[in-house]
Amino acid sequence: MGKIVIEPLSRLEGHGKVTITLDEDGKPKDVKLHITALRGFEQFVIGRPAEEVPRIVPRICGICQTAHHLASVKAIDSAWGVEIPEVAKKLRELMLVGNMIHSHALHFYFLAAPDFVLGVDADPAIRNVVGVIDKAPEVAKQAIALRKFGQSIVEAVGGKAIHPVTGIPGGQSKPLTEEERDALLKEVDQMIEYGKNGVELIKQINEKFMDQIKTLGVIDTYYLGLVKDGKHNFYDDTLRFLSPDGKEKVEFKPEEYLDYIGEYVVPYNYVKHPYYKKVGYPEGVYRVGPLAMLNVCDEMETPLAEEYRKEFLEIFGFPANQSLAYHHARLIELLSACERAKTLLEDNSITSDDIKTDVEPKAGNGVGVVYAPRGVLIHNYETDDNGIVIKANMIVATTHNVPTMEKAIQQAAQEIFK
Amino acid sequence: MIQLCGCSGCHISLLDLHEKLLEVLPNLEIVYGPIVADPKEIPEGIDVFLVEGGIRNEHDEHLIHEIREKSKIVIAWGTCAAYGGIPGLGNLYKKEELLNYVYSTDSTENKGEIPSEEIPPLEEYVKPIKDFIKVDYTIPGCPPTPKMIADAIIALLNGEEPKLPTKIVCDECSRKKENVFPETFKRTYEGKPDPERCLFEQGYTCLGFATRAGCGAKCPSAGVPCRGCFGKTDRSLDLGANAANVLANAGEASLKIPDKVALLNRFTLPDALINRKAK
Ligand code: SF4
Ligand code: SF4
Ligand code: SF4
Q: How many domains does chain A have?
A: 2
- Compute the CA torsion angle A139, A145, A151, A155 (nearest 10 deg): 170
pLDDT value at position A240? Answer: 97
As a whole number of Å, the end-to-end CA separation of chain B is 36
* A218 phi/psi in degrees, rounded to 5: -90, 115
Instruction: Identify the CA nearest to B265 among candidates B228, B237, B211.
Output: B228
Check whether residue A20 and residue A138 sit in a common domain.
Answer: no
Instruction: Identify the CA nearest to B82 among candidates B243, B220, B270, B235.
Output: B270
CA A187 to chain B, closest CA, distance in angstroms equals 15
CATH number at residue A356: 1.10.645.10
Mean of pLDDT over chain A: 91
Confidence of residue B278 (pLDDT cuts 50, 70, 90): low
**Residue A323 belongs to some domain of the structure:** yes
| Helical ranges in A50-112 per DSSP H | 65-79, 86-105
Owning domain of residue A15: 2-35
For the purposes of burial, counting CB atoms within 10 Å of the CB of B217, is it exposed (0-12), middle (13-18) or buried (19 or more)? buried
pLDDT value at position B207? Answer: 96
**Residue A63 belongs to some domain of the structure:** yes
Separation CA B154–CA B133 (nearest Å): 24
pLDDT tens digits, A112-138: 888 777 777 777 777 777 777 878 888
B248 or A156: which carries more pLDDT confidence? Answer: A156
Residue B252 CB: number of other CB atoms within 10 A? 8
**Can you give the length of chain A in residues?**
418
List the strands of the sheet with B137-139, edge to edge.
Answer: B2-3, B46-52, B71-77, B137-139
What residues pair up with A322 in beta bridges, in sequence order? A218
pLDDT value at position B262? Answer: 94
CA B202 to chain A, closest CA, distance in angstroms equals 15
C-alpha A101 chain-centroid distance? 11
Cβ within 8 Å of A, B 143-162: 143
Check whether residue A190 and residue A272 sit in a common domain.
Answer: yes
Check whether residue A27 and residue A69 sit in a common domain.
Answer: no
Separation CA A294–CA A339 (nearest Å): 16
Give me the interface pTM, i.e. the ipTM.
0.96
pLDDT value at position A117? Answer: 75
Q: Tell me whether residues B106 and A258 touch, CB distance under 8 A.
A: yes
pLDDT value at position A14? Answer: 63
Separation CA A353–CA B221 (nearest Å): 15
Check whether residue A56 and residue A24 sit in a common domain.
Answer: no
Name the stretches of chain A with pLDDT < 70: 1, 11-14, 418
Burial letters B169-197, b for 16+ CB under 10 A, else e: bbebbebeeeeeebeebbbbbbeebeeee
As a whole number of Å, the end-to-end CA separation of chain A is 16
Residue A311 neighbours by CB under 8 Å, 6+ apart: none
pLDDT value at position B7? Answer: 92
Q: Report the predicted TM-score, pTM, of the whole model to 2 decimal places.
A: 0.96
B200 CB less than 6 Å from ligand 2?
yes
Mean of pLDDT over chain B: 92
| A-to-B residue pairs, Cβ atoms closer than 8 angstroms | 246
Confidence of residue B31 (pLDDT cuts 50, 70, 90): confident
Check whether residue A63 and residue A164 sit in a common domain.
Answer: yes
Check whether residue A30 and residue A67 sit in a common domain.
Answer: no
Check whether residue A64 and residue A24 sit in a common domain.
Answer: no
DSSP annotation of A261: E
Q: How much is the average pLDDT of B39-59?
A: 91
pLDDT value at position A9? Answer: 76
Check whether residue A22 and residue A167 sit in a common domain.
Answer: no
pLDDT value at position A11? Answer: 62
The 3-state DSSP composition of chain B as helix, strand, coil percent (nearest 5) reads 35, 15, 50
Q: Please give the helix or strand (H or E) that residue B110 lies within, else none.
A: none
pLDDT value at position B224? Answer: 97
Separation CA B227–CA B212 (nearest Å): 11
Q: Is B115 on the interface with A (CB under 8 A)?
A: yes
Residues from chain B contacting residue A159 (CB–CB below 8 Å): 218-219, 221-224
pLDDT value at position A12? Answer: 65
Query: Which ligand gives the minimal distance to the CA of A58?
Result: 1
Instruction: Identify the CA nearest to B187 among candidates A55, A394, A85.
Output: A55
Angle subtended by helix axes A178-215 and A303-316, to nearest 10: 10
**Residue A138 belongs to some domain of the structure:** yes
Q: Is the pLDDT of residue B109 over 60?
A: yes
- Cβ atoms of B238 and B262 closer than 8 Å: no
Check whether residue A131 and residue A6 sit in a common domain.
Answer: no
CA angle A181–A186–A191, rounded 5-degree value: 110
Residues from chain A contacting residue B223 (CB–CB below 8 Å): 159, 166, 173-174
DSSP annotation of A110: I
Check whether residue A30 and residue A118 sit in a common domain.
Answer: no
Check whether residue A201 and residue A258 sit in a common domain.
Answer: yes
Check whether residue A265 and residue A403 sit in a common domain.
Answer: yes
**Residue A40 belongs to some domain of the structure:** no
Burial letters A177-194, b for 16+ CB under 10 A, else e: eeebbeebeebbeebbeb
Separation CA A1–CA A168 (nearest Å): 56
pLDDT tens digits, B148-193: 999 999 999 999 999 999 999 999 999 999 988 898 999 999 999 9
Q: Is A232 on the interface with B (CB under 8 A)?
A: no
- Residues with beta carbon inside 6 Å of ligand 1? A 59, 62; B 6-7, 9-10, 52-53, 78-80, 85-86, 142-143
